[in-house]
Structure 1
Amino acid sequence: MTTNCIIFDIGGVLEITPETGWVQRWEERLELPPGTVNERMRDVWRAGSVGSISEAEVYKQVAARLGLGMSRVETFMDDLWAEYLGMPNQELIDYVRGLRGSCRLGILSNSFVGAREREAALYRFDELVEQVVYSHETGIEKPDLRAFEAACAGLEVRPESCLFIDDVAANIEAARAAGMQAHLFEDNDRAIKRIMATWAPGPCLQAMPRSDDRGEVAGRTDCHSPTSCEYAPSPRGPRAHAHCQAGASHHHRVAATSAGVPLPWAGVVAYRARSPSADRRLPSAAARRR
């Protein structure tokens, strides 16, 4: 089955977040038994993941429940966000950037209040894809089927035409139950091969505004008809095609292949995987990202 839409998870897929041990360090610093921080904060972490508490209230609850002054609360939360945000899975992000304009792209993430602003500032996910769906904004977490339905509805795509990529098996099963195609993320190489194996060139799309400019793709993507094509794919989305005249948008034919598998367009190459660390969650707030 082919797909013209791809939706990605963030934690463990687009972000690599190895455990930093910050909770254990705080428990040692405060002379608390292991597990105390998460036990005291459990309902706050839960509320933050579905947006039923403000970020300011999270800070107040940390102060009250752990007996911290506001300066130490700031440090505590900085440690939380450092592990939550981790580092970018740059290979995969670059590959996704190359897909823009050729298919619908979205993100569906179990999150925590404050995540959108921080991830937009650090990784610009809001510019990478057309739609970012966060659980703290919708109030619905994966693997609830409504989360997947909302992601597809927002992109105006049928579930069966959409590939969902996540690193949690329960979310993959739920996505399939919602009618989507799904791939359990293990490393970049397997994920990219799955995308290449199921990707179907869609109609030319209007380019999304971009602040970066990587230039045109090397090589030429031929069109079905050089007299009826308006756009051709590039890393920044559709561009005016030198070999075409302005006219009605239509499907582009892919000219390049790799090992017999069509690439999204000429010039895209397979990325060698750099496997993210396996289970890179905060043992507290970010655990909700599963």
Structure 2
Amino acid sequence: MPQKTTWILFDIGGVLEVVDDDTWQEQWWERVRAVSGLARDELDARIDAADLPRIDLTVGTEGAFWAGLAVALDLDDAQRTAIRADFWDAYCGTANHELIEYARSLHGRARTAILSNSADGAREEEERRFGFASIFDPICYSHELGVAKPEPQAYLRTLEALGAEPEDVFFIDDHQLAVDGAAASGIRGILHRSNATTVAAIERFLAER
């Protein structure tokens, strides 16, 4: 019987990227508010009324999102360009070089892939900055899957993309809900808190194979 493929499945934000997923969005919206000159209540009301597309679950909607946001907040082209650039800088953070290079070193021992909640445009932005495609294949983004962690379909569709059984996959994420969602689908994992503990957990998983 041929040996089954072992997969190490990584989240991006807060794992492969150094960024605080729990705070950056609120901080970014506050910077948008400052650019717009609006009070927060007024900004929230305008955003709600604009009915912007769900760029976290849809493909090809990024342009409509930024155009709609600019109209809703009366931003000119320069302001729209600046807040979009600020968004992606905040979204992507900086590379976790140590963990990325460790993932690269797994070649020959396991295959590496990504499952990440995302926004339309993330594939292009993160590839330009970090070159993930040279290490991870496939890269499964929520905006392309049409479903986000911790929904069961996010994991099931990723398993289909991997062509893997749950027991052959080890998952790393910085949110317990996402790790719990993986576990509910039969995928073992770890809550990422440091590179050292994550690497140790991966090594234990590989040693059991």
* Larger helix proportion of the pair: 2
2:185 to 168, 173, 178: 178
Cα distance in 1 between the residues matched to 2:28 and 2:124: 22
1:146-185 equivalence runs, <5 A: 146-185=153-192
Q: RMSD over aligned Cα, in angstroms? A: 2.1
Q: Is the 8 A contact 1:167 1:185 kept in 2?
A: yes
Cα distance in 1 between the residues matched to 2:54 and 2:35: 26
The offset of 1:86, in angstroms, is 0.7
SS in 2 for 1:126: helix
Cα distance in 2 between the residues matched to 1:165 and 1:36: 39
1:88-141 deviations in Å (ceiling 9; x for gaps): 001100100000222121100000000001111111111111210001111111
The offset of 1:33, in angstroms, is 2.2
The offset of 1:68, in angstroms, is 0.7
Q: Which residue of 2 aligns with 1:9?
A: 11
1:29-84 deviations in Å (ceiling 9; x for gaps): 3232236545644653x610001661211121111111111221111111111100
Q: Which residue of 2 aligns with 1:62?
A: 69
- Which sections of structure 2, spanning at least 5 residues, go unmatched? none
- Which sections of structure 1, spanning at least 5 residues, go unmatched? 203-290
Quote the sequence identity (%): 33
**TM-score, structure 2 normalization:** 0.87
Q: How many residues align?
A: 199
Q: Which residue of 1 aligns with 2:137?
A: 130
Indicate yes or no: 2:92 matched with 1:90.
Answer: no
1:182-233 deviations in Å (ceiling 9; x for gaps): 111111011001001111487xxxxxxxxxxxxxxxxxxxxxxxxxxxxxxx
Q: Is the 8 A contact 2:16 2:96 kept in 1?
A: yes
Judging changes above 3 Å, is the alpha-carbon distance between structure 1 residues 103 and 201 closer, same or farther for their aligned structure 2 residues?
A: farther
Q: Is the 8 A contact 2:43 2:73 kept in 1?
A: yes
| Greater Cα radius of gyration, structure 1 or 2 | 1
Indicate yes or no: 2:193 matched with 1:191.
Answer: no
**TM-score, structure 1 normalization:** 0.64
SS in 2 for 1:165: strand
SS in 2 for 1:6: strand
Q: Which residue of 2 aligns with 1:28?
A: 34
Cα distance in 2 between the residues matched to 1:37 and 1:126: 37
The offset of 1:25, in angstroms, is 2.7
SS in 2 for 1:51: coil
Indicate yes or no: 2:112 matched with 1:110.
Answer: no
1:120 to 111, 121, 127: 127
Cα distance in 2 between the residues matched to 1:191 and 1:39: 42
Cα distance in 2 between the residues matched to 1:175 and 1:109: 12
Judging changes above 3 Å, is the alpha-carbon distance between structure 1 residues 191 and 56 closer, same or farther for their aligned structure 2 residues?
A: same
Q: Which residue of 2 aligns with 1:279?
A: none
Whichever residue aligns with residue 136 of structure 1, its letter is H
